[in-house]
Amino acid sequence: MGLHPQYLSSFWKTQYLLLRMDGPLPYHKRHYIAIMAAARHRCSYLVGLHMGEFLQVGGNPAWLQGLHCAPQKLRNLNEVNKLLAHRPWLITKEHIEALLKPGQDSWSLAELVQALVLLTHYHSLASFVFGCGIKPEEEQDVGSSCWAPSPHSNSSPASGDTMGGSGGTDAMQEVQVLMERMKLLQENQLEEEGVTQEEMATRFELEKTESLLVPSSDILDPSLQSNIRCFLEDPEFGYKDFTRRGEQAPPTFRAQDYTWEDHGFSLINRLYPEVGQLLDEKFQVVYNLTYNTMAMHCGVDTSVLRRAIWNYVHCVFGIRYDDYDYGEVNQLLERNLKVYIKTVACYPERTTKQIYAQFWRHFKHSEKVHINLLLLEARMQAALLYALRAVTRYMT
């Protein structure tokens, strides 16, 4: 994240507030919720980190033997944790109601909102960790704790940002083609070609259905480390690969019906004030973050590309923007990039160095990390919108 200092500063402020500042939940429970969230994606790096933090703030070591040793109140959060991590569109006001129901183990609304923010924060942070290839020390290859700064898999020159051979020529052409498409789309936007609402809706459904056909990289190794297995109930539950089971895609969530700006932000601000402000700033920073460069080119307006990546992540989770033409996604995101986005956003634990190396072969490592930041925040916002919509429905 340090490659993007403006973002890092915003991220740290949010995470510091979530874990270390006053809030409805005691500190040890916050770290335990982080462990539960990271375990859903088998993220041993984050699980290990927060097991240590949990003990440092005085958490009961017995709880670390597994979810079955934690208090019932935390165990009750497991269903919402599971849905938010893999299929957030299934969260309903009934799930919220069950947690808030008066009784010995009930949650207050303020506690629950803090827990929902923590869960979505750590699910999406797991995406970033896997997307950048960050591993705990004991799992590292010699001398490497994340994907190498060189974006090129095989014998790349020392500079890391140039390529020899025909692979280099192909990659150069890919950059040129992408830049020409971006320019065309930007010019077309100025002309405002009349595309009907029906056509826009059809293009979204097409993109959503196609995204289900994008395979994830490889099959997950079923052997789970015991330090993660013990925090998981129903480990087989994951993002649905709908096409294989002949099931439906997630129902379409019209972004205009429940937006972050008009609904989610104000709800969090009422129940957990400072966090709403910091989340909003973090979403803004990453959405607008640009250096006006692309691979070896400077002075490039990358806004259409950044929007396509953000909207594609939301599309994979069923969220549709009425005023966006999803035809742009198909024109700007090559297949390898779609495979990467889908994997990191939906099954981050399956991310491999190979799929990281295969997309945007001539782009700098920092630009690929930039994509991971967009994925992290778009994924977090998507899951939060589903969770907060359920809270709003419960309250009304």
DSSP string, 292-354: SEETTEES---HHHHHHHHHHHHHHTTEE-TT--THHHHHHS-HHHHHHHHHHHH-GGG--HH
**Catalytic residue status for 43:** yes
* Mean pLDDT, rounded, for 322-337: 88
CB 34 within 8 A of CB 46: yes
Q: What is the reported pLDDT for 142?
A: 47
Q: What is the reported pLDDT for 179?
A: 77
Instruction: Give the C-alpha separation, 239 to 390, whole Å.
Output: 19
> What is the CB neighbour count within 10 angstroms for residue 354?
10
**Residue 176: inside a domain, yes or no?**
yes
Q: Lowest mean pLDDT of 89-98, 172-181, 189-198, 375-384, name the range.
A: 189-198
**Residue 148: inside a domain, yes or no?**
no
**Residue 154: inside a domain, yes or no?**
no
**Residue 162: inside a domain, yes or no?**
no
Distance of CA 359 to the CA centre of its chain: 18
Annotated catalytic residue within 43, 132, 315, 346: 43
| pLDDT of 94 above 80 | yes
CB 395 within 8 A of CB 329: no
Name the token pair of 201.
Answer: 């809706």
Q: By residue range, what is the domain housing residue 174?
A: 5-135+169-216+224-395
52 by Cβ neighbours in 10 Å (0-12 / 13-18 / 19+) ranks as exposed
Running DSSP on this structure, what letter comes out for residue 140?
A: P
CB 264 within 8 A of CB 279: no
Running DSSP on this structure, what letter comes out for residue 26?
A: -
CA quadruple 76, 98, 31, 23: dihedral, nearest 10: -150
226 pLDDT band, cuts 50/70/90, is low
Q: What is the reported pLDDT for 153?
A: 37
DSSP string, 256-281: GGS-IIIIIHHHHHHHSHHHHHHHHH
Instruction: Give the C-alpha separation, 245 to 207, whole Å.
Output: 19
Highest mean pLDDT, choosing among 126-135, 149-158, 247-256: 126-135
Nearest Cα neighbor of 124 from 84, 79, 80, 76 is: 84
Q: What is the reported pLDDT for 217?
A: 44
**Residue position matching structure tokens 């297949």:** 335
Distance of CA 163 to the CA centre of its chain: 30
Q: Lowest mean pLDDT of 47-61, 91-105, 159-173, 198-212, name the range.
A: 159-173
Structural domain count of the chain: 1
pTM (predicted TM-score): 0.86
**Residue 141: inside a domain, yes or no?**
no
**Residue 272: inside a domain, yes or no?**
yes
* Radius of gyration of the CA atoms of the chain, in A: 21
CA quadruple 378, 354, 206, 204: dihedral, nearest 10: 20
| pLDDT of 237 above 90 | no
Instruction: Give the C-alpha separation, 36 to 28, whole Å.
Output: 13
* Mean pLDDT, rounded, for 13-24: 94
Q: List phi, psi (to 5°) of 107.
A: -95, 150
Q: Lowest mean pLDDT of 197-201, 328-332, 362-366, name the range.
A: 197-201
Q: List phi, psi (to 5°) of 221.
A: -65, 120
242 pLDDT band, cuts 50/70/90, is very low
**Residue 346: inside a domain, yes or no?**
yes
* Mean pLDDT, rounded, for 280-290: 95
**Residue position matching structure tokens 């990453």:** 286
Instruction: Give the C-alpha separation, 366 to 333, whole Å.
Output: 18
**Residue 300: inside a domain, yes or no?**
yes
Helix/strand/coil (H, E, C) string of 36-96? HHHHHCCCHHHHHHHHHHHHHCCCCHHHHHCHHHCCHHHHCCHHHHHHHHHCHHHCCHHHH
Contacts of 267 (CB under 8 A, 6+ apart): 113, 388, 391, 392
Q: What is the reported pLDDT for 215?
A: 54
